[in-house]
Chain A
Amino acid sequence: MSEHSSSSLGFYVGIWAALIAGTILTVVAAHIDMGPFNAAVALIIATVKALLVALFFMHIKGAHERLLKLVVISTIFFLIILLALSMADYGTRYFS
């Protein structure tokens, strides 16, 4: 499958540079006071980095097999169910 992606070595080095830049950015962002948004910014940067690794290093983008995308999307879906339903419980326990 990855043989069908036309990715060159220079392209991979570009993704690597973006990941290094994201790491530096997340450290810098942690030192800036953004009130309640620090955690959200850190998670957004981490998710962008994870997407870069998954799409380009793990070759989800340009994948030949369609079933693979179904597996990836359902993985994320079930992870969101795990986190969202747990937080719907714990996040609202102390309201009453």
Chain B
Amino acid sequence: MSDSQAAVQNPAHAGGHSPALLHHFADEQQQRDSASLGMWIFLATEVMFFGGLFCAYLIYRLAYFGDFAAASQTLDWRLGGTNTIVLICSSLTVVFAVYAAQQGKRSMLLISLVLTLVFGFAFLGIKGVEYAEKFEKHHVPGASFQFDNVKVPGHADQIANPHHAEIYFALYFIMTGLHALHMIIGIGIFVWLFLMAWKGRLTPEYNTPLEIGGLYWHFVDIVWIYLFPLLYLIDLHK
């Protein structure tokens, strides 16, 4: 049943308001504000969730600074930096998608959503290359972890403590892994949004799913904006 048919058949729509407006809201503005407020409260819980991990990182980095620098420099900042740019580009295409839905520009909306998905998969692909390298070098915490005779940057006479480096890699995998999980969920949401857009369900009158899905995507981008300098860029000048 299409929305216009619903408006005709449901006597509650006799007043002629938009079929997208649920009856417990005063108007469409209030409906949109309620949805995004709910999303922001969810994002507040996400900030506290990642905040605990950042706090753990901060405590161990201050305690084992040189070991963290030595472990951090086994990562390739070029790959991390490329992923930062990929995510920033995907945020731009999300903003374009929201704009296109509000303006009712169908082809721009669909192209923006496809580009967002392409950037999302590119991010995960690069992350996969990095993870594979960690497994090859035995830098994954666990029984086969190896980090012997690695010098502390800036201190040629000091060898990094493998146990402290293992803590760095544990934090690296937990933080980037949870971030990657958020990316995978985000890609799922955007596939669903693409299907909604394809069916013409995202209109200038009703595009709330895209708007709050976009908020989630931007939040995941912000988490990476902090992860990149904290994990990849320790003491590179030494």
> Residues of A at under 8 Å CB distance from B?
1-3, 7, 9, 12-13, 16, 19-20, 23, 26-27, 30-34, 38-39, 42-43, 45-46, 49-50, 53-54, 57-58, 64-65, 67-68, 71-72, 74-76, 78-79, 82-83, 86-87, 90-91
For residue B235, CB closer than 8 A to chain A, the reply is: yes
Please tell me if the beta carbons of A83 and B222 are within 8 angstroms of each other in the complex: no
Counting residue pairs across A and B whose Cβ atoms lie within 8 Å, the total is 125
Given A2-B98, A27-B81, A82-B51, do A50 and B89 touch, yes or no (CB 8 Å)? Answer: no
Evaluate contact between B59 and A26: CB separation under 8 angstroms. Answer: no
Q: What is the minimal beta-carbon distance from A87 to any residue of chain B, in angstroms? A: 7
Q: Return chain B residues, CB-CB under 8 Å to A68.
A: 33, 36-37, 40
Report yes or no: B89 in contact with A72, Cβ–Cβ below 8 A.
no
Of listed A16, A20, A58, A67, residue having the most chain B CB within 10 A: A58
Where chain B touches its partner, the secondary structure class is helix
A42 touches B233 (CB 8 A): yes
Bound CA span A86–B237, Å: 29
A3→B102 contact, CB < 8 A? yes
Residues 63 to 107 of chain B near chain A (Cβ within 8 Å): 63, 77, 81, 84-85, 88-89, 91-92, 94-96, 98-99, 102
Q: Which residues of A contact B32 (CB under 8 A)?
A: 1
B147 within 8 A of partner (CB): no
Q: Determine the distance from Cα of A54 to Cα of B44 in the docked complex, in whole angstroms.
A: 13
- Check A71–B91 contact: CB distance below 8 A: no
Check B55 against A58 for contact (C-beta < 8 Å): no
Supposing A19-B88, A30-B77 touch, asked if A9 and B55 sit within 8 A by C-beta, the answer is: no
Are B92 and A72 closer than 8 Å at their CB atoms? no
Q: Which of B40, B52, B95, B233 contacts A57 (CB 8 A)?
A: B95
Interface positions of B (Cβ within 8 A of A): 29, 32-33, 36-37, 40-41, 43-44, 47-48, 51-52, 54-55, 58-59, 62-63, 77, 81, 84-85, 88-89, 91-92, 94-96, 98-99, 102, 211, 214-215, 218-219, 221-222, 225-226, 228-230, 233-238
Q: A1 is contacted by which of B36, B47, B230 (Cβ under 8 Å)?
A: B36
- Closest chain A CB from B50 CB (angstroms): 9
Q: Which of A27, A42, A71, A76 has its CB near the most chain B CB atoms (within 10 A)?
A: A27
| B99 pairs with A75, CB closer than 8 A | no
